[in-house]
Amino acid sequence: MKLHEYQAKEVFDEAGIPVPDSTLASSVDEVVTAAEEIGYPVAVKAQVHVGGRGKAGGIKLAENEEEAREAAESILGMDLKGYTVEDVLVEAGVDFVNELYVGVTMDRGEGEPVAMVSTQGGVDIEEVAEKTPEAIARVHVDPAFGMHPYQARNAVHGAGVDREHSRDVASILTTLYDLYEERDASDIEVNPVMITSDGDVVAADAVMNIDDDALFRQPELAEMEEASYEDDLERKAGEYGFDYVRLEGNVGIIGNGAGLVMTTLDLVDHYGGQPANFLDIGGGAKAERVTNALDMVFSDENVDSVVFNIFGGITRGDEVAKGINEALEQFDEIPKPVTVRLAGTNAEEGMEILDTDLVEVEKTLEDAVQRAVSDAQEVNQ
């Protein structure tokens, strides 16, 4: 579960991490009122789960009421990388002289959490890691013992943070790790941590993602779950219990198992298409679950065709076929062309069950993907 920036900052503030004064607003008048109460200058920031909000026009600075009103009118309701902006965070402007990156995530290769610090904050940290990996100081933490103070100091020193601010940055890193552990986070970061002209250290942004399977022991965060959804599709995915990511293409993808879905995404790209989503229905999926998956993909206006990739193991091919038939029978007219590939347990039985008047059936994944890509291209001709 992804927290919005404003939600993550509430958690950070409660934990003692310094954050700018801010107010959530959903209308132009609310933005102006909040800006006046906070005091100019302010930043008006779109609350959507996408990176690069500033470059896309989702963050604007305002020095007075007129600029605040213009910023609100520009951002509220805008389409930002496929998401409609319904709320903005009005935040006190920060007069900064330097930007840092501080974060904690899981290093699956090492099997331990890794704490990271870099003096190249305010930019895409993945890009920094790719082009100048030496600019990121990393310290692995044994979860049995937690982060020791010396480890935080080592990370800050290794990144080259000046001594005047190293203690405050180390404190933020230590608190982030504590939150990572106590709140069952999958990753948590501040990008950027701003060094102000007065010498203060402030968390100007906040990212915090929570392990969905741990929400039962995080009731306070679980209450934020509904507000964290970006749109009806993500809300549906949460209700159905699907692993779902909305993408920017037009070929809908459904599979059972993350690896199988990722392979299908890669093949769609390989054959000249663009994936519209990542949707994993998981193992042991029954007819009702398959019906829900098709309902989700059909509800996405960006989808022009659907490829269904199932390898029978726990999920039996005949059960999947029944689910596909039941889902499609609910429509007077099939809204999108559907191509199905079945393999594995009871695949032959499933192929016989499938209503070929409603779906196209291919024996290989490559053929199924090529047909789905072709179908999507025909819709746009």
Contact criterion met (CB below 8 Å) for 72 and 32:
yes
User: Is 314 part of any known ligand binding site?
Assistant: yes
User: Is 14 part of any known ligand binding site?
Assistant: no
Residue of 10, 189, 230, 319 marked catalytic: 189
Q: Do you find a cis peptide bond into 41, omega within 30 degrees of 0?
A: yes
Distance of CA 177 to the CA centre of its chain: 20
The answer to whether 223 is a known catalytic residue is no
Whole-angstrom CA distances from 236 to 223, 272, 277 are 17, 29, 14
User: Is 313 part of any known ligand binding site?
Assistant: yes
User: Is 109 part of any known ligand binding site?
Assistant: no
d(CA 264, CA 311): 12
User: Is 310 part of any known ligand binding site?
Assistant: no
d(CA 318, CA 321): 5
Q: Which helix (H) or strand (E) holds 288?
A: helix 287-299
The answer to whether 189 is a known catalytic residue is yes
Q: Which helix (H) or strand (E) holds 292?
A: helix 287-299
What are 59's two structure tokens? Answer: 């963050």
CA geometry: angle 309, 315, 321, nearest 5 deg: 60
User: Is 210 part of any known ligand binding site?
Assistant: no
DSSP 137-188: EEEE--TTT---HHHHHHHHHHHT--HHHHHHHHHHHHHHHHHHHHTTEEEE
User: Is 99 part of any known ligand binding site?
Assistant: yes
Contact criterion met (CB below 8 Å) for 149 and 175:
no
Residue of 6, 83, 101, 229 marked catalytic: 101
User: Is 336 part of any known ligand binding site?
Assistant: no
User: Is 380 part of any known ligand binding site?
Assistant: no
Contact criterion met (CB below 8 Å) for 366 and 267:
yes
Name the burial class of residue 33, with classes exposed (0-12), middle (13-18) and buried (19+) by CB atoms within 10 angstroms of its CB. middle
Whole-angstrom CA distances from 358 to 75, 258, 275, 325, 339 are 42, 26, 22, 8, 9
d(CA 248, CA 304): 12
d(CA 215, CA 217): 5
Residues designated as active site: 101, 189
Residues tagged in the binding site annotation for substrate: 256, 313-315
- Per the annotation, binding residues are 45, 52-54, 91, 94, 99, 191, 205, 256, 313-315
Could you tell me which residues are annotated as the binding site for ATP? Answer: 45, 52-54, 91, 94, 99
Q: Which residues are annotated as a binding site for Mg(2+)?
A: 191, 205
